[in-house]
């Protein structure tokens, strides 16, 4: 008879700060005197990938997730907690562990994800005790649940309803440094392969976003205190390039190595010590856009994707290939697509222009562009990505009307001297 173990699946919350699922799993293992088995799956199966061009280099999104996973592994090892990193799917890992061990409970975050929700429901029906705790959001589960469905597609009303709610904090802060007797690690089956080594090498481009705790600490020092760039954020955020033009926090938020609560804490410190203005307020405002897409994705489920995607005509397939490779003839769009392939990043405004070009200029169904971003963005977040694409395309629960951008006007506004297009080899 197998001894019971506590299982922790670190998924969308890969940091150790404000990680309620991590804390709950450790407490459960300690209270029940059980070994703890923790894992991260780097497995990715992007939607519609069979219709997208192949790339020779590993996808930046996958490398970013591995970097975050190995950083969590190193941090937890300092507290005698072993974290396994595997490229097998979470479904494969959990199924195998349930077959080989007596899993008393599975802990994971409550991030809104239709596929993950289906998987966890299936395990719960099989008799596994599933605990979904924490979701790296500003609002807690009860506050999100209380919001009416009528707010879907109405961000302004959503914002005015939630902006006064105090920022959610974990019900109980669990300090890893205070663990006196960490639970022992459970045995990892030999047949389940793991990834080893330090964080994988990412591009040395200055456009790389901070992901690991060390990178974040250095970035806060540069962005807030050395450059004081937050004070100008509202006026620089739509620039296509510039090291401190935008916050660069999106990847850490998407991977869960940074919590929105921590972002708010840093904003408050900046306002208290230096300056409070419309720019500091605007970064908070954009955290609520993230919150809105998270909540809407939670409510919409698979309707967020409007699957199945329409089939592509021959002309649409050619247009999609040109767009993916930065060969549309629209300089600012092509520059953005070159930057994406080289670094896994492009600024938010350039993403909007690229999406508008694909959908409204090239007449390609939006789902294919969203799937390309899913593969390549370092800061890929399922709800923000597909929500933004649906919003720009229109005829979607999040937007009944299309949102098309005038690419010529946008280019004159945001790259009048061609600096960005020249930097990425797209100056016509």
List binding-site positions for FAD: 233, 286-293, 379-381
Contact status, residue 11 vs residue 90, Cβ threshold 8 Å? yes
Of 203, 210, 252, 233, the C-alpha closest to 381 is 252
- What Cα–Cα distance (Å) separates residue 65 from each residue in 8, 215, 242, 252? 17, 14, 24, 10
Class of residue 232 by CB neighbours under 10 A (exposed 0-12, middle 13-18, buried 19+): middle
Which residues are known binding-site members? 233, 286-293, 379-381
Under DSSP, is residue 38 helix (H, G, I), strand (E, B) or coil?
strand
Place of tokens 């481009």: 205
Under DSSP, is residue 22 helix (H, G, I), strand (E, B) or coil?
helix
Helices marked H in 274-330 = 278-300, 314-324
CB atoms within 10 A of CB 191: 8
Of 106, 94, 135, the C-alpha closest to 34 is 106
């Amino acid at each position: 008879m197998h001894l019971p173990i506590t299982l922790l699946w670190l998924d969308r919350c890969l940091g150790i700060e404000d990680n309620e699922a991590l804390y709950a799993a450790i407490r459960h293992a300690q209270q029940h005197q059980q070994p703890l088995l923790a894992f991260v799956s780097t497995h990715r199966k992007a939607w519609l990938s069979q219709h997208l061009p192949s790339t020779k280099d590993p996808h930046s999104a996958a490398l970013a997730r591995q970097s975050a996973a190995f950083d969590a592994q190193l941090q937890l090892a300092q507290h005698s907690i072993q974290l396994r990193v595997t490229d097998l799917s979470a479904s494969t890992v959990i199924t195998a562990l349930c077959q080989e061990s007596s899993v008393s409970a599975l802990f994971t975050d409550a991030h809104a994800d239709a596929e993950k929700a289906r998987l966890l429901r299936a395990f719960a029906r099989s008799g596994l005790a599933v605990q979904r705790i924490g979701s790296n959001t500003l609002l807690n589960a009860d506050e999100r649940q209380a919001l009416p469905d009528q707010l879907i597609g109405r961000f302004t009303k959503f914002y005015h309803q939630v902006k006064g709610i105090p920022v959610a904090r974990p019900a109980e802060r669990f300090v890893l440094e205070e663990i006196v007797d960490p639970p022992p690690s459970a045995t990892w089956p030999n047949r389940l392969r793991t990834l080893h080594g330090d964080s994988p090498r990412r591009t040395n481009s200055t456009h790389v976003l901070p992901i690991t705790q060390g990178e974040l600490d250095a970035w806060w020092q540069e962005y807030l205190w050395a450059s004081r760039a937050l004070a100008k954020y509202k006026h620089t955020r739509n620039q296509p390039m510039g090291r401190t033009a935008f916050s660069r926090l999106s990847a850490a938020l998407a991977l869960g190595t940074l919590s929105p609560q921590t972002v708010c804490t840093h904003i408050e410190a900046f306002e208290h010590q230096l300056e409070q203005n419309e720019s500091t307020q605007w970064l908070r405002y954009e955290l609520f856009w993230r919150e809105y897409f998270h909540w809407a994705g939670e409510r919409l489920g698979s309707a967020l994707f409007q699957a199945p995607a329409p089939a592509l005509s021959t002309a649409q397939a050619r247009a999609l290939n040109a767009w993916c490779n930065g060969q549309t003839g629209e300089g600012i769009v092509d520059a953005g697509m070159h930057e994406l392939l080289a670094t896994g990043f492009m600024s938010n405004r350039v993403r909007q222009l690229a999406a508008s070009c694909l959908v409204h200029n090239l007449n390609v169904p939006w789902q294919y562009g969203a799937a390309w971003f899913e593969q390549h963005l370092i800061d890929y977040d399922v709800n923000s990505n597909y929500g933004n694409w649906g919003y720009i395309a229109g005829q979607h629960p999040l937007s009944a009307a299309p949102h098309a951008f005038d690419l010529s006007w946008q280019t004159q506004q945001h790259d009048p001297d061609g600096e960005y297009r020249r930097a990425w080899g797209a100056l016509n």
